[in-house]
């Protein structure tokens, strides 16, 4: 299937690893010129993009600068994928509401919500001119905020609502905005020795391997396994393509059947 993406341009944030890297690779495979933004520039990111930018997207200056860099490199932006999120796992408290500091709340909202606000605001003139597309990467925990790190789900819920607002305002002007909400995805966040999965296992007093082995059963994933970054990237790639021209303001869940509500 020709997704009608060859020759388009894209900025992907949080592209150094995991879902963001998979999105950059998938778009590049379809002939898109991709600029990838990440705190750490990996060899994989360099290979998947025409340019990679090291940036702290939890600041307004960083988010604005990366869009400027992408505009300079590409001449314009057709596709914006706001994927950056989570934050530095080493700084996250995995306890309850009373354990979490104001600083963690602010950081999680800066990186998961305001980064998308800042990049979108700066990229919109080009996206409007080119009748482009935006995909925001949220999470199913935006719908089940009692699960996961305090502050993260709340910030992602706001991001999901932002996507709907943007689609209502700019859809009639030719910019399609959609949201993708993954469940547990097999990235370093869960599988890495220093990731959230390892930290959660330690908090529960169980081996990291045991936590990973039991994730599907414990969280009720109907297909019996967690998702992979490439699966999320395939959905994102379709949503920004010409084949999805009538999909506007949607929130697509990709969680292997974790959520049990319609």
Any domain includes 81: yes
Task: Tell me, yes or no, whether 163 lies in a domain.
Answer: yes
Among 152, 170, 190, 196, the active-site one is: 152
Mean pLDDT value across the chain: 93
In-domain check, residue 55: yes
- Please tell me the predicted confidence (pLDDT) of residue 158: 97
Q: Assess if residue 218 is contained within a domain.
A: no
pLDDT band at 185 (very low <50, low <70, confident <90, very high): very high
Whether 207 is covered by a domain: the verdict is: no
Q: Is residue 243 part of a domain?
A: yes
Would you state the pLDDT for residue 92? Answer: 64
Average pLDDT score over residue span 54-83: 97
Has residue 23 got a pLDDT over 90?
Answer: yes
pLDDT, tens digit, for every residue of 145-170?
766 678 999 999 999 999 999 999 99
Q: Encoding tokens for residue 24?
A: 């950059």
**pLDDT value, residue 4:** 92
pLDDT 10s digits, 99-135: 889 999 999 999 999 999 999 999 999 999 999 999 9
252 is catalytic: no
Query: If you write DSSP's letter for every residue of 174-233 in order, what string do you get?
Result: T-EEEEEEE-SB-SHHHHSTTSHHHHHHHHHTS-HHHHHHHHHHHHT-TTSS-B-HHHHH
Residue 221 lies in a domain: no
Q: What is the pLDDT of residues 4-13, one digit of tens each?
A: 999 999 999 9
Q: Check pLDDT > 80 for residue 95.
A: no
Q: If you average pLDDT over residues 214-239, what whole number do you get?
A: 94
More confidently predicted of 49 and 147: 49
How many structural domains compose the chain? Answer: 1
pLDDT band at 171 (very low <50, low <70, confident <90, very high): very high
In a domain, residue 63? The reply is yes
d(CA 5, CA 82): 18
Query: In the sheet where 251-254 sits, what is the strand order?
Result: 51-54, 33-38, 9-13, 79-82, 133-137, 176-182, 251-254
**Residue 159 belongs to domain spanning:** 9-183+229-254
What's the CATH number where 24 sits?
3.40.50.720
Query: pTM for the whole thing?
Result: 0.93
Residue 37: is its pLDDT beyond 70? yes
């Amino acid at each position: 299937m020709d997704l009608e993406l060859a020759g388009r341009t894209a900025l992907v944030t949080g592209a150094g690893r995991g879902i963001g890297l998979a999105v950059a690779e998938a778009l590049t495979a379809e002939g898109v010129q991709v600029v990838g933004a990440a705190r750490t520039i990996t060899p994989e990111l360099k290979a998947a993009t025409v340019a990679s930018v090291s940036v702290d997207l939890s600041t307004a200056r960083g988010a604005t600068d990366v869009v400027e860099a992408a505009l300079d490199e590409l001449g314009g932006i057709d596709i914006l994928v706001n994927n950056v999120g989570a934050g530095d796992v080493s700084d996250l408290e995995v306890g309850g509401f009373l354990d979490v500091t104001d600083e963690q709340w602010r950081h999680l909202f800066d990186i998961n919500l305001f980064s998308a606000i800042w990049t979108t605001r700066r990229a919109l003139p080009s996206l409007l001119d080119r009748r482009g597309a935006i995909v925001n990467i949220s999470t199913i925990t935006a719908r089940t905020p009692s699960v996961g790190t305090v502050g993260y789900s709340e910030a992602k819920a706001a991001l999901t609502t932002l996507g709907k607002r943007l689609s209502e305002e700019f859809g009639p002007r030719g910019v399609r905005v959609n949201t993708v909400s993954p469940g547990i995805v097999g990235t370093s966040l869960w599988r890495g020795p220093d990731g959230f999965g390892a930290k959660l296992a330690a908090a529960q007093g169980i081996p990291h391997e045991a936590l990973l082995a039991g994730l599907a059963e414990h969280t009720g994933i109907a297909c019996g396994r967690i998702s992979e970054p490439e699966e999320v990237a395939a959905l994102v790639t379709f949503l920004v393509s010409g084949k999805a021209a009538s999909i506007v303001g949607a929130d697509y869940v990709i969680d292997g059947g974790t959520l049990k509500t319609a």
